[in-house]
A and B are shown apart, each in its own frame.
Chain A
Amino acid sequence: MTGKPLLEVENLKVRFHLRTGTVEAVRGLSFTLGRERLGIVGESGSGKSQTGRAILGLTPPPGEVRADRLVFDGTDLLTAPRRTLRALRGGRMTMVMQDPKFSLNPVMTIGEQIVEAYRAHRKAGRAEARDKAFAMLEAVKMRNPARVFSLYPHEVSGGMGQRAMIAMMLVTDPDLLIADEPTSALDVTVQMEVLRILDELVGARGMGLIFISHDLKLVSSFCDRVLVMYAGRVVEEMSAGALARARHPYTQGLMRCLPTLAADVRPLPTLLRDPTWAG
C-alpha cells in the first residue's frame, strides 16, 4: 500500500434494537483500505453487508452505528456536515447492493436511473449523461444496451440487474467502490468481463475496491487482501493468494465445504461451529 489510506475504519459497531432483543450485526471491526482490492468473506449473517452500508451511511433504521474512527480520504465521516456527506456518498463513494433489483427504483427505467445518478454528481446535460449511461451499459456487456436502457428493473434478468447496478455505481467514477456480491448472478464468462473492468479501475485509476463475496476461489484469484468475518468481527486477515493456507479453523473449514468439478464428495463436508469463534 502506498501513501495514506483511502479509508480508515476503527472499531465499527452496528446494532439493531428489536422488540425481541438486540442484534449485534458488527462488533468492533477495524481495517484500512488503500487503492487496492480488499475481499471480505465470511459466514452468512456475519455482518459483511452491514459493514458496507455503515460506511456509505445506508444503515437502515433503527440501526445504530458507532465507530472510533471512520475517515474517507481525509474526511471524517462521523463529524462531516450533511452536505459534504451527500456529495461524497453516491459520487466518490458508491456501493453495489447485494439485492440490486430491489435497490433499484422500480418505477424508473434502468437508463434513466443511470442518467440521474450521473447528473446528481456531475455537471452534465441530458445528452452527455445519456451517452455516458449507454457506454456504461455496453461496458458491462449487456447484449442490447438500447433495449436495457428502456427496461424497468422487474424486466431484466438477475444478472442483468447486477450489471445495471454496477453500471450505475461506476458512472460517477468513484474513488471507493463497495461491491456486495456483485457477480453472484453472472455466468462465469460475463463475470470475468465485469471483473476485468473493476480490475482496470483499481490498477489504472487507483480506485479502492471492497469486494464482498462468498466465492472463495474468486476472491483468492481476484483480490489483493482478504478479511474473514465471523459473527460481526474479523477473525483472520491475509493476502488473498494465501487463502488456501488459512490458519483460522473457520476459514479452513470454508475451503473444504466447496463442491468441485474435480471430485464428487458426498455428502459435502460441513462446518462444526465452535462458540469460541464468536469471541
Chain B
Amino acid sequence: MISSQTTMKGSMLQIADLDVVFGTGRMRVDAVKGVSFAVAPGESFGLVGESGSGKSTILRAVCGLAPVAAGRIAVDGAAVTNPRSQTFYRTVQMVFQDPYGSLHPRHTVDQILAEPLAIHGLGNTEERIVATLKDVGLGPSFRFRYPHQLSGGQRQRVAIARALILEPKILLLDEPTSALDASVQAEVLNLLDRLRRERGLTYVLVSHDLAVVAYLCERLLVMRHGETVEETTAAALRAGTVASDYARTLIAASRGFSRGEPVAQPAGIAAQ
C-alpha cells in the first residue's frame, strides 16, 4: 500500500501540501488547505466530503484550472509545467462535474468527440467515435445531436466518452455517475473497472456516493472545509472502521432518509 509520504518516484500522481485560494479580503476563501496524497500507477483514489470542501478544486488544480497558492503537483514523477503541455492532456483527462458547461453548446456529439482526436493526431476517427459511444451505452443515433438535445445522463455519458476516447493514463472523474440511473451507472462503473484492469489506468474519483467510491477505489481522502479529515480505505468504509466522527456520520447518513431525529453531527459540522 502506498502512503502520502511516498516520494514522487513510483507515483502516477502526487499532490503535496496543496493550497488553493480564491478571492481577497471579505471574499477570500481558502478552498484547499495543505492537502497531500499520492496515487500509484493502476490505483484508484477517492475524494469524498462536504459540499464545497474543495474536491473539484483539487482536480481542477491538477489540470491547471485553479489558482494554486502553494504546493507541488507531479504526474508520472515529473512536476507539471505551466501552462500544461500537450503531453499532459494525452496523459491526463478530466470528466467535469457539470457536463453541460464542459461540452461546446454548438458542437454535435460527433464534433465533440472528433476534436480531441484531431488535436492529438489520432486516426480512425469514425471507428473510435462509434466504439466509445457504445462503451458508454449511447447508440449511433446520438452522434448528430447537440448537448441541449440530450437528457442529463446522456450528456454525462458524452463527457465520459470524450475523456476515454484519448485513452489517457490518468482519469480525473468528478461525480461521473451522479446523473445516471442505477442501470447505466452500473454499466459505466463496470466499464471503468474493466478499463483500469485491462489498461492499467489510474483514477481519481470524486463522489458523494460512498458505495460508488468503495466499488471503484482502494483508498480515499475524506475532506471538510478545504482540509483532509482522514485518509482511509474502501475496506474501512465497508467495515465501518473509519477513524473520524465525520466519516462515521457520512456512512450513517448514506443509509437513506429518516424522519426521526437528525443524525448527530460532530461538533463544528453544523453550518454556522
Residues of A within 8 A of B (CB): 16, 18, 20-21, 23, 41-46, 48-50, 60, 98-99, 101-102, 138, 141-144, 146-147, 150, 154-161, 163, 180-181, 184-193, 195-196, 199, 214, 216-218, 220-222, 253-255, 257-262, 264, 266-271
Contacts and interface: CB of A to CB of B under 8 A. Distances in A.
B153 A45 contact: yes
B182 A216 contact: yes
Given A187-B51, A218-B256, A258-B185, 20 more contacts: A18-B149, A23-B149, A44-B180, A49-B151, A102-B101, A158-B98, A186-B208, A187-B49, A188-B250, A189-B50, A190-B51, A191-B208, A192-B263, A214-B180, A221-B256, A262-B238, A266-B193, A268-B215, A269-B186, A271-B186
Contacts of B100: 99, 101-102
Interface of B: 22, 26-27, 29, 48-53, 56-57, 97-98, 100-101, 141, 144-145, 148-154, 157, 174-175, 178-187, 189-190, 193-194, 208, 210-212, 214-215, 225, 237-238, 249-251, 253-259, 262-263, 265, 269, 271-272
A259 B212 contact: yes
Nearest to A102: B100
A49 B238 contact: no
Contacts of A23: 149
Contacts of B194: 267
Contact of B208 (A44, A163, A185, A261): A185
Q: Which 9 A-B pairs have the closest CB atoms?
A: A159-B51, A44-B153, A221-B256, A188-B253, A257-B186, A268-B186, A222-B257, A271-B183, A221-B257
Contacts, number: 187
A220 B255 CA distance: 11
Contacts of B225: 143
Contact of A264 (B144, B148, B238, B256): B238
24 contacts: A21-B141, A44-B153, A44-B184, A50-B151, A101-B100, A102-B100, A143-B225, A157-B57, A159-B52, A163-B51, A185-B208, A187-B48, A187-B250, A188-B210, A191-B208, A214-B179, A254-B182, A257-B186, A258-B182, A259-B186, A259-B211, A261-B251, A268-B186, A268-B190
Contacts of A144: 29, 272
Nearest to A157: B52
A260 B208 CA distance: 13
B179 A184 contact: yes
B215 to A, nearest CB: 4
Main secondary structure, interface of A, reads: mixed
Contact of B271 (A42, A143, A155, A220): A143
A160 B183 contact: no
A261 B256 contact: no
Nearest to A97: B152
Contact of B249 (A146, A189, A255, A267): A189
A185 B256 contact: no
Contacts of A157: 51-52, 56-57
A187 B208 contact: yes
A98 to B, nearest CB: 4
Contacts of A20: 141, 144
Given A185-B97, A221-B258, A43 B184 contact: yes
Given A44-B154, A102-B100, A141 B179 contact: no
B51 A188 contact: no
Given A188-B208, A189-B249, A98 B257 contact: no
Contacts of B145: 18
A43 B52 contact: no
A162 to B, nearest CB: 8
A133 B149 CA distance: 33
Nearest to A41: B181
A66 B168 CA distance: 46
A150 B27 contact: yes
